[in-house]
Every structure is written in structure tokens, then in C-alpha cells.
């Protein structure tokens, strides 16, 4: 049960589909190292290849990466907290229909 009170009850649970799946988790299943998680998390999964699964701490190809293409609006807001989302666009589904929001301008210069 959540006792949170915020300005937009319900909106937090709105599902947002990202044009580019992002990395939301990074931890080595072998040694538990997650020291480099900040380097990878919240970046586009397509920016990396499978070398990301080799652990920098123990050298094993055992890093578990969590990649998600859909997050709730609440998760997005909490994760990015004002920083630009690294996606070309997001698709928001609401009861009344779907809305595509273009984010291209925010990712210029990358």
C-alpha cells in the first residue's frame, strides 16, 4: 500500500513507450559488482554492444542488464528528474487514445 500524495494521482501509472529502450539496471550476477551502473543506466541500450556484459570487476561475462522500452510516467519522472530522456519520441497511451511526443530537439548535438 502506498501513502504517497502527489499532484497528479493516476498519471504516475500512465504507461510510456520509449522509441529507444533504455538500460534500467546493471549488476554482475557473478560478483555482485554494480559500481559502474551509473555509466550505463538511463542510457540507450543501442549505444552499447554485448561487451557491456563483461564485468569490469571480475572479468566474467556475467553482468545482468535490465533493458526496458516501457516505463510508467512516475518511473520516468523519478529516474530522470528533469534531465532529457534519451529517446527520439515517446508514446503515451491513455483511455482516450495514444499520444506521440517528439523529443528530437532535446537530443540534438549527441
- β-bridge partners, 27: 64
The answer to whether 86 touches 42, Cβ cutoff 8 Å, is: yes
Considering only 16, 22, 28, 90, the residue that binds Zn ion (CB under 5 A) is 28
Q: Which is nearer to Zn ion, 53 or 79 (CB)?
A: 53
Q: Which is nearer to Zn ion, 4 or 51 (CB)?
A: 51
Question: Does 27 interact with Zn ion (rule: CB under 5 A)?
Answer: no
Whole-angstrom Cα distance, residue 42 to residue 80?
8
Question: For 23, how many CA atoms within 13 A lie in the half-sphere containing its CB?
Answer: 22
Residues 53-92 within binding reach of Zn ion (CB under 5 A): 55, 57-58
- β-bridge partners, 101: 90
Size of the site for Zn ion (CB under 5 A): 7
Instruction: Tell me which stretch binds Zn ion (CB under 5 A): 12-20, 48-56, 85-93, 98-106.
Output: 48-56
Amino acid at each position: 500500500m502506498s501513502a504517497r500524495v502527489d499532484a497528479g494521482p493516476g498519471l504516475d501509472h500512465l504507461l510510456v513507450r520509449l522509441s529507444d529502450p533504455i538500460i534500467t539496471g546493471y549488476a554482475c550476477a557473478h560478483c555482485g559488482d554494480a559500481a559502474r551502473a551509473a555509466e550505463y543506466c538511463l542510457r540507450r541500450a543501442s549505444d552499447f554492444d554485448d561487451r557491456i556484459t563483461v564485468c569490469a570487476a571480475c572479468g566474467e561475462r556475467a553482468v545482468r542488464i535490465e533493458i526496458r522500452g516501457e516505463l510508467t510516467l512516475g518511473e520516468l519522472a523519478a529516474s530522470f528528474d528533469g534531465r532529457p530522456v534519451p529517446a527520439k519520441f515517446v508514446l503515451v497511451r491513455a483511455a482516450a487514445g495514444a499520444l506521440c511526443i517528439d523529443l528530437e530537439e532535446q537530443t540534438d548535438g549527441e
